[in-house]
Structure 1
Amino acid sequence: MNPTTFQELNLPDALQKGIDALGFTSMTDVQQTALPITLAGKDVAGQGRTGTGKTATFLVTAINRLLTSPPKTGRKHNFPRALVIAPTRELVIQIASDAHKLAQFTDLKIHTVYGGVDYEKQLKAFDDGVDILIGTPGRLIDYLKKRAYELKLTEMLVIDEADRMFDLGFINDLRFMMRRLPKFDERQSLMFSATLSHRVMELAYEHMNQPVKLRAEEGGITASGIVETMYHTAMDDKLPLLIHLLRESNVERGMIFINEKRTGERLARNLARYGFSVGILSGDVRQAKRVRILEDFTNGKLQLLVATDVASRGLHIDGVTHVFNYDLPEDAENYVHRIGRTARAGAAGTAISFSCERFCFGLPDIEAYVERRIPLVSITNEMLDIGKPTHPDAHAEGMGAGDKAESPHGKSGGKPGNGRPPRGGGRGRSSGRPRAKKG
């Protein structure tokens, strides 16, 4: 029978103190299944629902390995013992934050590299030494080519969100780095992904040592603690319906997903005008501002976060009670990642989706992907009567005070926001999807 608590794993005292400080006691299903295998030194290709503790699984494994085995002979200060590769800056920042907390009572040195911040500062930090290196593929390769570090003696490789590496065009970069690591049977490799597709497993079998393929949970691919509902709504009714639902549920921390940056800007400004503290997160927001917005949202200074799919993976923010799909995602898989921002690590959460005339065409694919119908809820006229804005001059964090807002029913006095699909069809390519760019 697999252990159910971290204390049963007989981890080093320094690591156990870090786990205790985070308040972790019982393990999630993913951790109960994977940790006995990974701590034994075996390679794993693991699939688990989003928000089920995969990050803690590979970090506990890496820190345990580094604490219980001596460094290889001849290792230099800039030869990382463990390498963690993740596809996005937000995910790298989150992993690094968790790593620092788990390793806070150890002497391990953790270094993080990603694009959008001071290049030279990250480069110089290698001089202080590194045991665990966490980064995005582009920036990792840049520093590797500059010989800021070497991978010849790396003992452990972790690839997080492997399926998204393909989606963002990072697969060649990934293979470039894996070819510079010790041979597959001279290191431990862990690969985690929300979906273990054929192409992901092909990569696993090519670069891993007889990996154990794990799917830690039975049943659907969305977390069991999420209550899902769907509203069929007109474009012009989406904003008043959202405001009504936010008020009715007294949402203290919620995420609202949209497909296009311009939709998010109008939506965030209007929510601010109706008295909600709101931030907006998209690929075009500067990195320093993105970090500050995420910190404010995590700390409770912001009530709502409006975001494109740049935030649909890797953000482990406690206490997100509600996720709203203001726009249905055009990629069915992103539906799972979006609603996975709530009900994390066994908590309960609510996911509410709007199926409007522009994005309703993706609903059959979503329901086919999750293998069930999403329950429908009817809209009444009272739900759309929200009154006038209470803070007409307010603006959202992440956008300027001069940015325009639409009216409560989708009109802004001009063409944008009028609820009509763009010319040439209603399902144009979403500008909110992250582009394939390095680091």
Structure 2
Amino acid sequence: MEPTENPEIVPQRAENPAFLTKTQFTDFILPQEILAGIQEAGFTHCTPIQAETIPIALQGRDVAGQAQTGTGKTAAFLVPLMAKLLTANEPKSDLPSALITAPTRELAQQIYEDAKVIGRYTNLRMTLVVGGMDYQKQAQMLRQGTDIVICTPGRIIDYLKQGIFKTENIKVLVIDEADRLFDLGFTKDMRFILRRLPHYEKRLSMLFSATLSYRVLALTYDFMNLPDFIAMTPEEVTVKNIEQSLFHVSTKEKLPLLLGLLEKEDWSRILIFANTKAGVEWLAAKLQGNGLPTEGITGDLPQLKRLKLMQQFKDGKLKILVATDVASRGIHVEDISHVINYDLPQDPENYPHRIGRTARAGKSGKAISMACENYVFHLEAIEAMLGDKIPVVWPQEDWFKEDKAGPVRVDSFRPKRGSQDRSPRREPRRESRREPRREPNSEQKSRSKSISTSSQKIIFSTEPGGIFGLAPSREPEPVHNGPEAAANEPESSPTKKKRRHRRRRKKAAAPDNQQPQQSS
């Protein structure tokens, strides 16, 4: 079924969200500037993670929370962070006072936007430091002074090594989606940053992760001050209000079934997951060829284009977005009606991250998964983590629709140089013109002598500084005059060597009994 014709979809929170608690933000002792920003954002009651985290953090105690996406954890650490900075009785400094790290640029961008909304009426300066953006501009903003730095590990380490980002004044640390930081290989980077921060007894630390794995717990033990653990089970967070379904199909049937579901379902905005960059580009091209408004987003897409596509998706101008797991981090849109796993995730922990993109803010949503022969082996681990079986739906024959796009070309397999529509043009092969070799004159022969080796040719010269000042100098050899000196001088001519070699061969070939004739 076609999407609702509404170019601008304004996200609306559910009237009575079931996941909200009775705790209100006004129940906490917060500065009026923060309460004004929270009220303007439309927040009145706290989510479970907010109701548990905010009062602990306001007391100055560290927090390690297990929370999935869509549970309101961003506000859970932004509110106490800003409250601590505003209530600190210390002189104003240009050095950063708070550091927030995120695994991806999109998530850091989303945190930055939420921080600007909640801190709108405060005088706190916020700086976004991520890769793919103007390097010198971000460095200049850090030099001019800021209060809150929201970053990804790679870029902030560059500024840290150059002395542009200084850590001695950090009072609050936030690590968001710690499990994803480890999955993406940022373990050493995070420990590099944390070792250069003030001691954990001199700062407030908050960590959030979808799973409290051994690596996450080890990080809390090394760099946090006996944190309070707040755990929420995945069943309470992701499965609730999400209608899940599973289709067992072959790889060739996945696209026809997807086209049929897009025609059959009543959807407004869809997020589709594929496991590889090439798969994302291929599927986006196929859906575009079938007349569906689709774009693909991958991890190596230029940052400006990624931000533009994300904004179009949030504004409702883009209806279907195909993404990988890495690129999907930071997609916070409250009115995604469907999440489709075109490929089952290879890591079972990615499943709740994926389907958690729908049914946000107390709304309902659908999560559709396709199990083909390539990825069905990961289904058992996913269901074991959920603690339940995903309902299986057997499609009818009329649900499969014909693909009208035809063959498509994927940019991942094209050469990067040249035009995208054709391969780089090869220049015709030309015969090289060689100049005739010039023999050195007698004066040059006397001045220099060459020694050839297997790898290079070394030229020695009797002139000071060598030939053109490049060749190493060598002491001149003594000049021998007279017949005795000429007899003692070794033969260097190749012609003389050949003649001597021939004489030796003839003498060896002569019969033993044959004597040379004596001249009379």
Report matched runs for 1:60-75 at 5 Å. 60-71=79-90, 73=91
| Equivalent of residue 19 in structure 1, options 38, 41, 48 | 38
The one-letter amino acid of 2:394's match is S
Classify 1:387/1:282 alpha carbon distance in 2 versus 1 (closer, same or farther; 3 Å). closer
Amino acid at match of 2:304: A
Task: Encode CA deviations 1:16-71: one digit per residue, 9 max, x unaligned.
Answer: 11111111122111111211111221100100132101111111111111112233
* Corresponding residue of 1:360: 376
Corresponding residue of 2:146: 130
User: Paired residue for 2:93?
Assistant: 76
Distance (Å, rounded) in 1 between the aligned partners of 2:137 and 2:104 = 19
CA contact (8 A) 1:313 1:338 kept: no
Q: What secondary structure is seen at the aligned counterpart in 1 of 2:120? A: coil
Q: 1:33 aligns with which of 35, 45, 52?
A: 52
Partner of 2:298: 282
CA deviations over 1:273-297 (Å, ceiling 9, x no partner): 2222111000121111111010111
Give runs of aligned pairs for residues 8-407 of structure 1, distance below 5 A: 8-71=27-90, 73=91, 76-77=93-94, 79-216=95-232, 219-220=235-236, 222-386=238-402, 388=404
Structure 1: how far apart are the matches of 2:22 and 2:257? 46
* Deviations, residues 47-105 of structure 1 (Å, cap 9, x unaligned): 0132101111111111111112233x5x631x111110111111111111111111111
- Cα distance change on mapping 1:45 and 1:248 into 2, 3 Å: same
8 Å Cα contact 1:273-1:395 kept in structure 2: no
SS in 2 for 1:346: coil
Native 8 Å contact 1:280 1:399 kept in 2: no
Letter in 2 for 1:60: V
Cα RMSD after superposing both structures: 2.5
Asked whether the 8 Å contact 2:289–2:404 carries over to 1, the reply is: no
Please, which moves more after superposition, 220-229 or 33-42? 220-229
Q: Secondary structure at the match of 1:296?
A: helix
- The change in CA–CA distance for 1:402 and 1:179 in structure 2 (over 3 A counts) is closer
Deviation at 1:387, TM superposition (A): 7.3
Q: Note the alpha carbon deviations across 1:381-428, whole angstroms, 9 max, x for none.
A: 100135746xx89999x9999789xxxxxxxxxxxxxxxxxxxxxxxx
Identity score, percent: 45
Match of 2:443 in 1: none
SS of 1:189's partner is strand
Return the alpha-carbon distance in structure 2 between the equivalents of residues 267 and 209 of structure 1: 47
* Secondary structure, aligned partner of 2:352: helix
Q: Distance in 1 between matches of 2:234 and 2:131?
A: 37
Query: How far off is 1:231 after superposition?
Result: 0.4
Between the aligned partners of 2:157 and 2:401, the Cα distance in structure 1 is 54
**CA contact under 8 A between 1:48 and 1:54: conserved in structure 2?**
yes
Task: Determine which structure has more spread, i.e. the larger CA radius of gyration.
Answer: 2
Residues 49, 223 of structure 1: 8 Å contact kept: no
C-alpha distance in 2 between matches for 1:187 and 1:82: 9
Q: Which runs of 5+ in 1 are unaligned?
A: 405-439
Q: Which has the higher mean CA deviation after the structures are superposed, 8-17 or 315-324?
A: 8-17
Rounded Cα–Cα distance in structure 2 between residues aligned with 1:323 and 1:204? 33
Can you give the 5+ residue segments of structure 2 that lack an aligned partner in the other structure?
Answer: 1-20, 423-520
Query: 1:80–1:153: 8 Å Cα contact kept in structure 2?
Result: yes
CA distance in 1, matches of 2:299, 2:329: 13
SS across alignment from 1:19: helix
Please report how far the alpha carbon of residue 223 of structure 1 lies from its aligned counterpart in structure 2 after TM superposition: 4.1
The letter of the residue matching 2:267 is V
Asked if 2 retains the 8 angstrom alpha-carbon contact of 1:342 and 1:350, the reply is yes
Secondary structure of the corresponding residue to residue 361 of structure 2: helix
TM-score normalised per structure 1? 0.85
Is the CA contact (8 Å cut-off) linking 2:334 and 2:360 kept in structure 1? yes
Q: Name the CA shift for 1:3/1:10 in 2 (closer, same or farther; >3 Å).
A: farther
Aligned to 1:412: none
Q: Deviations over 1:150-190 (max 9, x none)?
A: 11121100001111221122111111211221111111000
Contact 2:270 2:337 in 1 (8 A): yes
**Residue type matched to 1:65 in 2?**
K
Answer whether contact 1:367 1:374 (CA < 8 A) is retained: yes
Find the aligned partners of 2:404 and 2:295 in 1 and give their Cα distance: 21
Separation in 2 of the partners of 1:343 and 1:246?
A: 19
Tell me, yes or no, if the aligned pair for 1:312 and 1:334 is still in contact at 8 Å. Answer: no
User: For residues 198 and 275 of structure 2, what CA distance do their matches in structure 1 show?
Assistant: 41
Question: What SS does structure 1 have at the residue aligned with 2:343?
Answer: coil
Quick check: 43-52 or 343-352, which moved more? Answer: 343-352
1:54 partner letter: K
Maintained 8 Å contact 1:91/1:313? yes
Deviation at 1:338, TM superposition (A): 0.8
Bigger mean CA offset, 105-114 vs 17-26: 17-26
Q: 1:68 to 1:59 in 2, by over 3 A?
A: same
- In the other structure, the counterpart of 1:4 is 23
For residue 292 of structure 2, give the secondary structure of its aligned residue in structure 1: coil
CA contact (8 A) 1:111 1:130 kept: yes
Shift of 1:249: 1.9
Q: TM-score, normalised by structure 2?
A: 0.72
Q: What SS does the aligned partner of 2:44 have?
A: coil
Deviation per residue, 1:336-390 (Å, 9 max, x gap): 111111112322111000001111111111111111100000111100135746x
